[in-house]
Amino acid sequence: YVLASDSTSDMNGKLVIYTINWDSLSWRVRVEIYADVSVCSHYGNVVIVRDLNNDEFDDILVSASMDSSNGLFESGTVFYYLNTKISPYINNAPLRINGDPVIRSRFGFNVEIVEDLGGGGHQVIFIAAMRCNEGLDVIYLYHTLPSSPFVLFIEVCFLINFNRKFSHKHPLSHKLLLEQGLRL
């Protein structure tokens, strides 16, 4: 079981992986990781446990949609904890995924994963942000490349204005390539 919260005594984030013995109704903490996030970051707003890199071991995505640790107020961060397959099996130095550098964009206020979208054999990670480009909401699409399951690649962004009821592709200001926890 996995729990992530920013309601620790110092108001920073904490990821806890634990097991439950249902016969004795007891639980045991297996891993505790303190996240490097700003105070009141909403760390744990979304927690997804899934094999993201196709190695048959579950990885963890944790969003902190109001994180300001990258220097921009409430710009948000999504943390990708890669399963190392050895104890402790989750990497203490997660990959930090950020959207466009916009104050109060709250990148990661929602995160969803779709299995095998388009039949390519890879998962697509949708990460939402608010008020990114002239007040428009943005949905970022990340996917693993079939030739290299350890790479996350941003494919396209969509700008959405629900008041005007239109959407279009965002001319990407950047392409993001992430490989084994390193920003290239």
User: Which parts of the chain sit beneath pLDDT 70?
Assistant: 8, 87-88, 91, 117-118, 120-121, 133, 144-184
In a domain, 99, yes or no: yes
133-171 per-residue burial string, b: 16 or more CB within 10 A, e: under 16: beebbbbbbbbbeeeebebbbbeebbbbeeeeeeeeebe
**Average pLDDT, rounded, for the chain:** 76
In a domain, 168, yes or no: no
Strands, sheet with 95-97, edge to edge from the N-terminal-most edge strand = 43-50, 59-64, 77-81, 95-97
In a domain, 30, yes or no: no
In a domain, 173, yes or no: no
In the chain, the number of structural domains is 1
Provide the 10 A C-beta neighbour count for residue 11. Answer: 13
In a domain, 114, yes or no: yes
In a domain, 180, yes or no: no
Domain of 111, in residue numbers: 40-159
Task: Yes or no: say if 30 and 1 are a contact pair by the CB < 8 Å rule.
Answer: no
In a domain, 108, yes or no: yes
Give the global pTM.
0.78
Please write the tens of the pLDDT for every residue from 99-117: 888 889 999 999 999 887 6
In a domain, 67, yes or no: yes
pLDDT, residue 181, reads 35
pLDDT, residue 160, reads 57
